[in-house]
Amino acid sequence: METSRKPLAKTEGRRRMPLSGLTIAWRGTPSLDDWVAYIVRTKSKRFILADHASERKVKALLSRLKTMSKKEVERLAKG
């Protein structure tokens, strides 16, 4: 007989980057490589910065984005 497991907890957040003024959102599961980070836009589609990445890669990307301009961030995105 199989036992039921508790579902894994999802983590998500948003941060406004100081230099570019863009809002970056991310979500994922702490121990899995299913993290995604994207630029939040209201009128157009999302620009994906990282997809199927580890939590460590997403957090490192967020710290790098703090010092980048809007043009550099959008160029980095896989839109």
**pLDDT digit string (tens) for 8-59?**
889 999 999 999 999 999 999 998 999 999 999 867 677 899 999 999 999 9
Domain residue limits at 37: 11-76
Residue 6 located in a structural domain? no
Residue 5 located in a structural domain? no
Give 23's DSSP letter.
E
Q: What is the pLDDT of residue 13?
A: 95
According to the 3-state scheme, what is the secondary structure of 18-40?
CCCCCEEEEEECCCCCCEEEEEC
User: If pLDDT is split at 50, 70 and 90, which confidence band does 79 have?
Assistant: low
Tens of pLDDT along 46-72? Answer: 789 999 999 999 999 999 999 999 999
Q: How many domains does the chain have?
A: 1
Integer Cα distance of 74 and 79 in angstroms? 8
